[in-house]
Amino acid sequence: MTVRVITDSAATLPPDLAERLGVLVVPLRIALGNRSLSDGDLDVAALVDHGPDVSTSGPTPGDYLAAIGQGGEEGCVVLTLSREMGAGSFLAAQAAARTVSTPVRVIDTECAAGAQGLVVIAAAHAARNGATIGGVAEAARPVIERVRLVATLPSLDHLARSGHVPDAAAWAARFVGLCPVIEFRRGRVRPLRPAHSAHGARRRLLDRVAEAKPHGTSCLHVCALHALASDGADDLLAAVEAEFRPATSFVGSFSTAMIIHAGPGVLGLAWWWEPLAT
């Protein structure tokens, strides 16, 4: 393998999967008051109820430089968290790339969590098959275009507080006790029509996957994503596997930094349908 694929911890790739694919994962950063910590150095239990003085940001250019330093002989492809979600990852990777002589391509995945993970997996497969930097980027492109992420969460308050959904949805959920459903696509969180129960929300997720299936032969790549809701994610993935027999499937557990953003209890699916040549 000669091109190294690098991503950030927003991609929620399970460590063993990342290792198998040869992907380097650069941790996001967490600020706790005046302290700066690496995502993963901090137990989430200590954080969920922490006061308001917690914030997250992308990795620093220094973090990316360290990863690039372990890079492949032919260079690196860095796949970052959506710039709309937090420009830090993308800008930091670019700043790092400008200071090294190794060829580095920085790509905004325009998504996060399991969706970002699926983009990274496609790129990593290409790199393992000996693709050039351009080839790895080519492999990521169609996934960035097709990948969808729909999730349900107990409350949109955390997302609203971190500035990523209109406050409207947070309130809506409280007022009538509905389950908010959101779609995250092309860098934006968009509230969908809420479901009336957790069960209904789960059914809605599976329906969305089915609706999105293109005509013709295709196979599914899917991630069940969750923030501190692993049982729900396991069940959801089992349901998807039974219904759609995906080619790729994994559970993507949110890192501490991601939980700060989205709040605990997020449960959703990220997926893309890959058309198979006929």
Partner 1 sequence: MTELPTLGAALMRRTMTAYHDALVVHRRRLNLLNVYPVPDADTGTNLMMTMESVVEALRASDEGRPVGAVITRGALLGARGASGVILSQILAALVARVDKPPVNDATALAASLNAAADAAYEAVTHPVEGTILTVAQAAATAASAAARDTATLADVVGAARSGAAVALARTPDQLPELRAAGVVDAGGAGFLLLLDALTYVVTGAPVPEPLDDGERPLSEGGLPQQARYEVVVYLEADPGAMSEFRTAWDRLGNSSTVVVEAGGRWVAHTHTDDPDAATAAARATGRVVDVQITDLVAQIGEIAASRRTGMRSGVVAVVEGDGLRERFRSRGATAIVIGGQTRNPSTAELLDAVERTGAAEVVILPNDSTVVPAANQVGRLTETPVAVVPTRTVLEGLAALSVYDGALDGRTNRKAMISAAAGVRSGSVTRAVRDAASAHGAIREGDWLALTPDTLVAVAGTPLEAAQRLIEILVESTEADVGLDAAAVTIVAGADADDDVVAALGEWTGERWPALSFQWFAGSQLLYPYLVGVAVRPSSTG
Query: Residue 233's CB: how many other CB atoms inside 10 A?
Result: 25
Give me the residues that bind partner 1 (CB under 8 A), please: 29, 31, 34, 36, 55-58, 60-62, 65, 83-88, 91-92, 94-96, 99, 162-164, 166-169, 171-172, 175-178, 190-197, 199-200, 203-204
Minimum Å gap between C-beta 40 and partner 1 is 16
Rounded CA-CA distance 32/52 in Å is 9
Give the full edge-to-edge strand order of the sheet including 188-195. 188-195, 179-185, 148-152, 267-275, 218-226, 248-253
Count of CB atoms situated within 10 Å of the CB of 179: 20
71 versus 88: smaller Cβ distance to partner 1: 88
Q: Pick from 29, 21, 27: which is nearest to 9 by CA? A: 27
* Separation of alpha carbons 95 and 74, rounded Å: 19
Q: How far is the CB of 43 from partner 1 (least distance, A)?
A: 21
Q: Side chain identity at 218, as an amino acid letter?
A: S
Cα–Cα–Cα angle for 31, 230, 90, nearest 5°?
A: 40
Count of H helices and E strands in the chain?
A: 10, 13
Rank residues 94 and 155 by Cβ distance to partner 1 and give the closer one: 94
**Residues making up the chain, counted from first to last:** 278
Q: Are the C-beta atoms of 109 and 81 separated by less than 8 Å?
A: yes
> Which CB, 114 or 191, lies closer to partner 1?
191
Distance CA 219, CA 241 (A): 12
**Would you say 70 or 99 has its CB closer to partner 1?**
99
Q: Whole-number minimum distance, CB 69 to partner 1, in Å?
A: 12
- CB of residue 169 to partner 1, shortest distance in Å: 8
Nearer to partner 1, 26 or 121 (CB): 26
Residue type, position 276, single letter: L
Min separation Cβ 196 and partner 1, Å: 5
Q: How far is the CB of 95 from partner 1 (least distance, A)?
A: 5
State the nearest-atom distance from the C-beta of 63 to partner 1, in Å.
8
Closest CB to partner 1 among 17 and 66?
66
Taking the least distance from each CB to partner 1, the nearer of 168 and 238 is 168
